[in-house]
Structure 1
Amino acid sequence: MEEAKGVLKHLFLAKFKDGTPPDQIDGLIKGFAKLFNLIPPVKSFHWGKDVSAENLHQGFTHVFELTFESMEGVAEYLAHPAHVEFAKVIRPNLDKFLVIDYKPTTVHL
Structure 2
Amino acid sequence: MPDDTTCYPYGTKGLGLSDADLASAFALPVIMLMGSEDVSREQPFRATPEADAQGKNRMERCLHYFDACQKKAEELGVPFNWKKGVVEGAAHEGGKMAEGTMKLFCEEPLDETVGM
Query: Which TM class, normalised by the smaller chain length?
Result: under 0.3
TM-score w.r.t. the length of structure 2 is: 0.26
Structure ranking higher in strand proportion: 1
TM-score w.r.t. the length of structure 1 is: 0.27
Greater relative contact order (CA < 8 Å, ≥ 6 in sequence): 1
